[in-house]
Amino acid sequence: MMRLVPFLALLALPAAAEPWACTFTVECVAGEACGESAFEAEVIAADHAGELFLSTVTGDSRIARLTGPDELPATYASAGASGLAELLTIEADLTALMSVHIFDGAAAAVTYFGTCEELR
C-alpha cells in the first residue's frame, strides 16, 4: 500500500505541458479602467523542431518556456515580433495572466486575466 500512495499523489497533479488554450475575460490597458474581454491565445508546438509559439488573432510569435517542463506555474515569453513583447503565466489552478507590451512607437501595455486548459 505504501507504494501506491506516491503514485496516487501524482495522479492528483494537474497536467503541465503544451499545448494550451487560454481565454481571457478581463483586459486592463495601462492608464485606463479594466473591462471585459474575449481575447484568446494558444501555446502550441507548431513545428517538428519542438519550438513553441503563442498563437493569437495578431499572428504567431515564437516563445520560450521560462519554467521547467511539466510543472506549474508555467511561464512563457516572447519579444520582438511586430513590436510586441508577451509574457504568459499559467498557475497550478489554471488561472492565467498575460501581459503584452507594445513598443513600435508609443509604448503601451495591456494585461489580460483568464484561464487556460491543456489541449491533448
- Residues across the chain: 120
Residue boundaries of the structural domains of the chain: 18-118
Residue-wise pLDDT for 45-79, tens only, equals 876 787 999 999 988 889 999 999 888 999 999 98
CB 111 within 8 A of CB 97: yes
pTM of the model: 0.82
Distance CA 90, CA 1 (A): 34
pLDDT digits (tens, 9 = 90+) for 87-109: 999 999 999 999 999 988 888 99
